[in-house]
Amino acid sequence: MHLLAIGTRKGLWLATSEDRVSWDVRGPHHPMTEVYAVAIDPRVPRVLVGVDSSHFGPSVLTSTDLGETWQEPDHAPIAFPEDAALERVWQLALTPDPDVVYAGTQPSALFRSVDGGRSFALVEGLWKHPHRAEWGAGFGGQAVHTVLPHPDDPDQVTVAMSTGGVYRTFDGGTSWEASNRGVKAYFLPDPYPEYGQCVHKVARHPAAPDRLYLQNHHGVYRSSDAGGTWESIADGLPTDFGFAMVVHPHDPDTIYNFPITADSNRFPPEGRCAVYRSADAGDTWTALRTGLPDGFWTAVMRDAMCVDAASPAGVYFGSRSGEVYGSADEGESWQRIVEHLPDVVCVRAAEV
């Protein structure tokens, strides 16, 4: 069965399908909470969500029965030292070990769980990094929104934040280095600083872990050395601005991007909804529009696009106007799965 989790600013919806054509959409779960982070672990199976309640604050909830029931720890599973307060969980990232889960948060920090997400400990090496005092806040806040555990080496983790850029560790989080060489920060006096870039999303393929793709605040990039250096792959896209970056589940050279116009508008050029796909690691791009609408005056956020692991791969995205679209043929054609939801900020898919 195919499971699609849709996190919005007013709750979570879960959609299931046997054929990825007809979908049963259920929700809302956790109504009137903001759900910016979802992870689906088909090995258990288990769904983890980061919820943010205006009354009770942020937390992480778990379901092992596809949303029929939810478990929440008695105490806040994620907490900062006394000099900071948790504002939001932006990312929940699984690892090859089902007990180890990472959480990226606002303010910018990384937490690690060794009990499947029931409790988390602060990764102090990143929290105490000397650059932290100079990490700024993008329009969405100061947050670690991307967490990429290495598929083969548990001591390697890559994170990205707005604003601050990409950082990586090779010793399990004890020490971290900025990894932004070649990524432009046009709004700074030095356009190629060591850190300070407003990175929107980074994606990695597990079969080629040294290959990374990055959507920046202006700029689309590729790295072939695990983030040591970056080169532009924006040529062929209608705009180099956007939030989403997704890698095909089986082919590390195939990637998906949703370009939008820059700061003044933030919707697709001319309102023409289009997913762009590259089959050669970003050297060339093709617009995929079959089944997608014109008059699409909205945006797709950084975690509102994803793929499943089926063959052919499914591709999905949700909009800030509450529509979710899916493709069961790797983007060649699209159908609308659901509409009239609240603002969609996170979409995750898996076979369970």
pLDDT in tens, 261-298: 987 789 999 999 999 999 999 999 999 999 999 999 99
Query: Tokens 């407003």 map to which residue?
Result: 198
pLDDT value of residue 308: 97
pLDDT value of residue 299: 97
Cα(217)–Cα(220) distance, integer angstroms: 9
pLDDT value of residue 296: 97
DSSP 292: P
- Return the HEC string of 265-291: CCCCHHHCCCEEEECCCCCCCEEECCC
CA 155, distance to chain mean position in Å, is: 21
pLDDT value of residue 262: 84
Helix, strand, coil percentages in the chain from 3-state DSSP, rounded to 5: 5, 45, 55
pLDDT value of residue 226: 96
**Cβ-contact 135, 143 below 8 angstroms:** no
Helices (H), the chain: 124-127
Domains of the chain: 2-351 (2.130.10.10)
Cα(48)–Cα(54) distance, integer angstroms: 20
Cα(326)–Cα(329) distance, integer angstroms: 9
pLDDT value of residue 78: 95
Q: Determine the 3-state secondary structure of 79 from DSSP.
A: coil
Other beta carbons within 10 Å of 130: 7
Positions of the chain with pLDDT under 70:
none
pLDDT value of residue 237: 98
Cα(103)–Cα(232) distance, integer angstroms: 29
